[in-house]
Amino acid sequence: MGLTLETVVFYFLAVFIIAMSILTVTTQRIVRSATYLLFVLFGTAGIYFLLGYTFLGSVQIMVYAGGIVVLYVFSILLTSGEGDRAAHLKRSKFLAGLVTTIIGAILVLFITLTHKFVPTSDPEPVEISIKTIGHALLSSGKYGYVLPFEAVSILLLACIVGGLLIARKR
């Protein structure tokens, strides 16, 4: 199996996402953490585009990278000072997190190595019309997305109101 451009781009994006994910959780500056999270979301959108899922990649950029990270940054800037740093972890919490990470990595490796991956017979992406996607998003049936969309919008509204109340107390 030779190296193709798609394989090289996939591995580059995978390493980029892993590096930015590690930086997201290890940096002590909260705004930098939000920036690294933005890079992770852009890298994930890049993988969607690489797989041929243009609609999903566009939604990833618009909804997550565009909306949630902007909300996250604004809530950080409303509730914290410019020089806020994350508190240092106690040794016991660090060890608990390390043990949990190792157990999670062992579990992921076990599942990945024992799973029988079956190659698909039709690797070509299937284009679905925007009309079909719109009906699926706005339907309230079994596979509709109206209820989850409303639940997430109420959750985001509660986050905004909570952030404003916390910022207002100061």
Prediction pTM value: 0.57
End-to-end CA distance of the chain: 60
pLDDT digits (tens, 9 = 90+) for 66-90: 777 777 777 677 666 655 565 677 8
The CA distance from 60 to 95, in Å, is 34
pLDDT digits (tens, 9 = 90+) for 95-140: 998 899 999 999 999 998 998 877 777 667 778 888 887 787 778 7
By residue range, what is the domain housing residue 76?
Answer: 1-85
User: Are 77 and 155 found together in one domain?
Assistant: no
Q: How far is the CA of 27 from the CAs of 41, 91, 152, in angstroms? A: 17, 17, 28
- Taking a C-beta distance cutoff of 8 angstroms, is the pair 78, 164 a contact? yes
Give the number of domains in the chain: 2
CATH of the domain at 5: 1.20.120.1200
